[in-house]
Amino acid sequence: MVKSPVSQLDRTFSALVDPTRRAILARLEREPGLSITEIARPLPLKLPAVMKHLDVLSDAGLVSRNKRGRTVSVELIAGPMEEAMDWLKRYERFWSASLDRLTDFVEDDE
């Protein structure tokens, strides 16, 4: 089997499929520049597992790491998610019609 190159969009969706990684991104959106230890603290994972999740997010271009002395801080990078949203918006018409029909159904029922 021939392996084709993995696109940025594929890496983004692959990273976002995991709930732990989504939780990390949500936290970084609320609290930019957290250290890796601060990110790991509320999670039910050991530090090496958190580091692996951060590696996936970094490989997808969703986070960047900056080292100051012995502390590594992590920042959210939204660009790849914007590209994913643009891709999803192309298909919005397929679910918008269904949601409109559901709204009509509920409003008619009342």
pLDDT score recorded for residue 63: 98
- The answer to the question of residue 86 being in a domain is yes
Tokens of 104: 């009509």
- The answer to the question of residue 1 being in a domain is no
What is the three-class DSSP state of 4?
coil
The answer to whether residues 76 and 28 touch, using CB atoms and an 8 Å cutoff, is yes
Which residue is associated with the tokens 């918006």?
89
pLDDT score recorded for residue 2: 52
Q: How does residue 108 score in pLDDT terms, banded at 50, 70 and 90? A: confident
- The answer to the question of residue 2 being in a domain is no
pLDDT score recorded for residue 3: 64
- The answer to the question of residue 39 being in a domain is yes
- Arithmetic mean of pLDDT over the chain: 89
Residues 42-96: tens digit of each pLDDT: 999 999 999 999 999 999 999 999 999 999 999 999 999 999 999 888 888 777 7
- The answer to the question of residue 44 being in a domain is yes
- The answer to the question of residue 3 being in a domain is no
CATH of the domain at 53: 1.10.10.10
- The answer to the question of residue 83 being in a domain is yes
Is the pLDDT at 110 greater than 80? The verdict is no
Give the domain extent around 41: 8-109
Which helix (H) or strand (E) covers residue 108, if one does? Answer: helix 92-109
Number of domains making up the chain: 1
CA 43 from chain center: how many Å?
A: 16
The arithmetic mean of pLDDT across residues 10-36, rounded, is: 96
pTM of the complete model: 0.79
d(CA 40, CA 32): 14
